[in-house]
Copies of this chain bind each other. A is one copy, B any other.
Amino acid sequence: MSPTEMALPPLRRSDCLICPARSRTICAAVPEEQIDRIALIKRPARQLKPHDVIYVEDAQCVEYFTVLHGWVALTALLERGQRVVLDFALPGDFFGFQADPAAPRTQSAVAITSVRLCPLPKAEVEALINVDPVVAAHLAHLIAAHEARAHDHVINSNTREARQRVAHLLIELYFRQRQQLPRQPHDTIELPLTLALIADTIGLTPVHVSRTLRRLREQGVVRFHRRRLYIEDPDALMRVSGIDDWPLTTGALKRE
C-alpha cells in the first residue's frame, strides 16, 4: 500500500481520471495527483445485466463498489421470501461497506438495470482508510449520509400514508438523479422500477401502490408508465409528499 510507489501503469491512472463518478463516491477525497491510490487498488469495471446478483446476505464480504452506470437495489431477504429494499445505489454511489468488514454480508445487492460497477477490494480499502485520514474522514461522512437517508425512510414508513410515501419516494429519486427538486411541469425522468420494487421500498403491497399511483394520475399529479415518471404537477407532488422545498446536500431531504 505504499502510495509513493512510482512505477505507475499509466492506463489505470487514466481510467480513473476520466471516471464520471470520481467527484463522488469514496474517490472524491483523493486529489487528482494522488489518484493512483485508488487506481492501483481498483479492479476492472464489471458489467452486469438486470437481475444479476452482486452479492447476497451471509456471503463473505470481499469487495466494495462504486456504481458507474445503472441502478442497484440493496435489499434484505426475509423468512417467507419477503423482500425489503433498503436503498438504491445510483451512478456515483458507493455501496457494500459495512460496520464489521470481517462479518458476512448483512444485505444483498442486485442489478435493477444493466449496471457497470467499479469493484474495490475490501482489504485494500480498509488498509487505505487506516493510513489516509482524509479518505477515512470522507468515508465517515459518506456513510453518515446513507444513515440520514435510512432515517428518512423510517420517517416515511412510520408516519405517512400511501399517497405521501409514494410521493416522497418519487421526489427522492428525482432529486438523486437531478440534484434538485422538480420545478418544471410535465418534466420526466427515467425510473426503471417495477411496482413490486416500489412497494418493497416503502412498505406497501404492489396492489396498493398501483391504486395510489392511479389516484395521483387521475388528479394530474404524476404519471408512471413504462419505466418513466412524468411529473405533471411538481408543486402538487411536493405538497402531497410533505417535503419542504429546502433540499439538503446530505443525502436526505428536508422535511416540513
**Which positions in A face B, CB cutoff 8 Å?**
76, 78-79, 82, 84, 86-87, 97-101, 103, 106-107, 126, 129-134, 136-137, 139-148, 150-151, 153-155, 157-159, 200, 202-203, 242, 248-252, 255-256
A248 adjacent to B132 (CB under 8 Å):
no
B97 adjacent to A144 (CB under 8 Å):
yes
**In the complex, A57→B153 CA distance in Å?**
17
**In the complex, A190→B184 CA distance in Å?**
53
A41 to chain B, nearest CB (A): 15
B86 adjacent to A151 (CB under 8 Å):
yes
**In the complex, A100→B136 CA distance in Å?**
15
* Given A78-B155, A129-B140, 6 additional A-B pairs, CB 8 A: A76-B155, A79-B256, A99-B141, A140-B140, A143-B143, A143-B147
User: Considering only CB atoms, which chain B residue lies closest to A142 in the complex?
Assistant: B99
CB<8 Å pairs between A and B, sample of 8: A76-B151, A76-B255, A78-B255, A97-B140, A98-B144, A100-B250, A106-B252, A136-B140
**In the complex, A137→B26 CA distance in Å?**
13
Which residues of chain B come closer than 8 Å to A137, judged between CB atoms? 126, 129-130, 136, 139
**In the complex, A142→B101 CA distance in Å?**
12
B100 adjacent to A141 (CB under 8 Å):
yes
**In the complex, A158→B134 CA distance in Å?**
36
A252 to chain B, nearest CB (A): 6
A156 to chain B, nearest CB (A): 9
Contact of A203 among B131, B147, B158, B248 (CB under 8 A): B158
User: Considering only CB atoms, which chain B residue lies closest to A136 in the complex?
Assistant: B136
A159 adjacent to B100 (CB under 8 Å):
no
A30 to chain B, nearest CB (A): 14
A212 to chain B, nearest CB (A): 16
A237 to chain B, nearest CB (A): 16
**In the complex, A158→B201 CA distance in Å?**
8
Contact of A151 among B97, B107, B139, B148 (CB under 8 A): B107
A55 to chain B, nearest CB (A): 15
Which residues of chain B come closer than 8 Å to A143, judged between CB atoms? 140, 143-144, 147
**In the complex, A42→B30 CA distance in Å?**
30
Which residues of chain B come closer than 8 Å to A154, judged between CB atoms? 84, 86, 150, 153-154, 157, 203
Given A140-B140, A155-B78, verify A103-B202 contact (CB < 8 Å): no
A78 adjacent to B141 (CB under 8 Å):
no
